[in-house]
Structure 1
């Protein structure tokens, strides 16, 4: 054996495991999981009192570093926080993908897969990703479905889906939102991959008019396996009706037919009020995505363990939290060699600890909740090789709270003032 991780609480939802067990790693693969394994190994890690899981998968990040304004370094911001695999959510389009592949995917220690933006240039510099007015989908010419499909078909080892942002500000003040949505839906269907939709401040409604069944809606027009991200935002298009404080029926129906919901925390898309309303209705995320980028890695998102911490505070069962960062994203993105600790799987393993704490942790709009338990990364192996883990230097960050308060007034669902 190369490594033997002993006496940890192994949580592996794919295999219905939650027990004190050992995990053995050999030649970059999971060799065995069992109680008191009698095996010789080159190194032993004592995980007593800790949680051992399949390598964490962040279902939504932006890691096209330097080529896009939002791009973070996946090794520094993700692998060093216990995350072995990330999904870059549309930083590149068909005309910029090869750079992502050559300079990020091929050179990162973190496993990087991506969703291809329906816009040719992805998020190179547009709207909220670049500081300028306008957005990546302001012209029809850039929304090239054929090039998107060709790029996916030629790079299926890396590209696992399609991405589109539905916000009026990035689609010529809403004029092209519907067409961007239609082309992205079509490209994903033709390639038999999921479509992830960013749906914030959009002209396309969350809840459609039942008297007009032909009207376009999101998530109404998503198919089973498609992904609705930024689920817990309080902007216009929130999943929560601001009057009734109930989740819209179109949202409930979409989840029932197999549409997946991603936390997509981001810098403006996680609202404690919305999340608490959803929690009361047991509307938990299928996928846990940090939407980590340059504007939130020092708060309010920080990393995926912090996002997990927030859902632990909300009452999401720990096993379901682990599922949302392991087997669920692996299945959603057809990542067949990871997501569980089954024999022969890639030896991606994360070790976590739950600490007592007493902090006022912010959402993305400056609202705070008193959090008593924190999930922390302790150790991580990627393909059987251990990597160093580091923690945020400032947590919580008062500057992130101040930034959030600047956009609080635009929320349609929020705490009572």
Structure 2
């Protein structure tokens, strides 16, 4: 029996090594963790059933350390990524160092929030290097989020400070859409067309292709297409998508022109269920008319590949936009939070809260997960993320869906529903970074070694 077990172990280990391209754990077992018995939802691979997932652990980079009186010098250690090594109906529990019991829970790729504000600091203003923004790791993992895109806090002038201060200092995978305004989202300069430099923005993006995934126009007030044109020119030069957050104009700039004339396929309209939500011709146009119908040009835009992003924020989701749109089958391409100190304690709260809200308005669970994982990955051209393919980075979220009577107050009304998401565990690079109820640990004391 022992010989048969050894042969089975050896065949399985060497067979999976080719796919996972990872070495065994320190114990000699091929996997660090096996997530057992969870309902896996993976939009890229069309998985929506109970499966097991085996993963290998990664490690954080460590800087070189000079010698001291009490310790020798240590060389720098590069980071490694934990990987999804196997996904199957039943994986032998003996092949992992640790079992994560996900029975009765939902397992998804780590969530990707493509609209956050994480340029946290004390030396700037509004959402640039200021306290209105947030430090990434305190507000991601507890909601199942493993990757984020900072939506325009930084422009080309101060991106390298942002990279040092936020991107390189965070366990969360942080990427950025550069503000077309060189000084970024400091509030005062967002209407300064002279600071909207397409060439310099594109040059900075191409200098840091791992970190910059697009460009952002935000809050411009005025009836001219010049800011939009400069934004899209930056996108063209760097071959990256752009994200538009219209400010206001009197009368408003028509969305039909933005979507079907200015935008290229793959460009992103954020605050998609926002706007003025009234019959007024001023401010920002909404995509649902006053009769509760999605405007025909909006469907045309979706068909040509325009990305409709939520960017929920403090007041950028209107009841008379979001509820009738989903009821009509017009689902958001991507669900995102617009997370900052002004939104986190209001109706938005978190990505997991928004997932429950969209289920309450009639969006099926599998589509909610797709809009929070795989669709964002495609929108930012990072298709190595947002999925659980063998060999992909082991960024994973595990959720419980609680049953009860719940409410989501939003601008213009209140949504009621019976299902609310609760993050049980988040895994980043194959390492557990959040575990609400200790599902990776046996009950009782741990043996003293």
- TM-score, with length taken from structure 1: 0.84
Partner Cα distance (1:280, 1:334) in 2 = 29
Partner Cα distance (1:316, 1:30) in 2 = 28
Partner Cα distance (2:348, 2:340) in 1 = 9
1:401 corresponding residue in structure 2: none
- 1:31 matched to 2:85? The reply is yes
Larger radius of gyration: 2
Partner Cα distance (1:269, 1:237) in 2 = 12
How does 1:47-66 map onto structure 2 within 5 Å?
47-66=102-121
- 1:316 matched to 2:363? The reply is yes
For residue 419 of structure 2, the aligned residue among 362, 373, 380 is 373
Of the structure 1 ranges 221-230 and 38-47, higher mean CA displacement relative to structure 2 is found in 38-47
What SS does structure 1 have at the residue aligned with 2:317? Answer: coil
For residue 343 of structure 2, the aligned residue among 296, 299, 305 is 296
For residue 174 of structure 2, the aligned residue among 112, 128, 152 is 112
For residue 195 of structure 2, the aligned residue among 142, 146, 159 is 142
Structure 1: any 5+ residue segments left out of the alignment?
127-134, 169-173, 209-215, 392-417
- 1:252 matched to 2:299? The reply is yes
2:124 corresponding residue in structure 1: none
What SS does structure 1 have at the residue aligned with 2:100? Answer: strand
Instruction: Please say if residues 199 and 237 of structure 1, whose CA atoms lie closer than 8 Å, have aligned partners that are also in contact.
Output: no
Deviation at 1:178, TM superposition (A): 1.6
What SS does structure 2 have at the residue aligned with 1:15? Answer: coil
Is the alpha carbon distance of 1:102 and 1:9 closer, same or farther for their aligned partners in structure 2, counting shifts above 3 Å?
A: same
Instruction: Please say if residues 232 and 263 of structure 1, whose CA atoms lie closer than 8 Å, have aligned partners that are also in contact.
Output: yes
- 1:206 matched to 2:254? The reply is yes
Deviation at 1:375, TM superposition (A): 1.2
How does 1:343-354 map onto structure 2 within 5 Å?
343-354=390-401
Deviations 1:260-308, CA, capped at 9 Å, x for gaps: 1001101110112211110122110111111111101112211101111
What SS does structure 2 have at the residue aligned with 1:217? Answer: helix
Deviations 1:342-367, CA, capped at 9 Å, x for gaps: 1111110100111112233211x262
Instruction: Please say if residues 184 and 190 of structure 2, whose CA atoms lie closer than 8 Å, have aligned partners that are also in contact.
Output: no
- TM-score, with length taken from structure 2: 0.78
What SS does structure 1 have at the residue aligned with 2:95? Answer: coil
Deviations 1:351-402, CA, capped at 9 Å, x for gaps: 0111112233211x262122221011110100011012569xxxxxxxxxxx
Deviation at 1:94, TM superposition (A): 0.1
Instruction: Please say if residues 355 and 368 of structure 2, whose CA atoms lie closer than 8 Å, have aligned partners that are also in contact.
Output: yes
Partner Cα distance (2:428, 2:218) in 1 = 31
Partner Cα distance (1:14, 1:281) in 2 = 24
Deviation at 1:223, TM superposition (A): 1.2
1:237 corresponding residue in structure 2: 285
Is the alpha carbon distance of 1:188 and 1:165 closer, same or farther for their aligned partners in structure 2, counting shifts above 3 Å?
A: same
Instruction: Please say if residues 377 and 385 of structure 2, whose CA atoms lie closer than 8 Å, have aligned partners that are also in contact.
Output: yes
Partner Cα distance (1:337, 1:348) in 2 = 11
What SS does structure 1 have at the residue aligned with 2:272? Answer: coil
Deviation at 1:230, TM superposition (A): 0.3
What SS does structure 1 have at the residue aligned with 2:376? Answer: helix
Of the structure 1 ranges 33-42 and 244-253, higher mean CA displacement relative to structure 2 is found in 244-253
Deviation at 1:144, TM superposition (A): 1.2
Aligned residues: 367
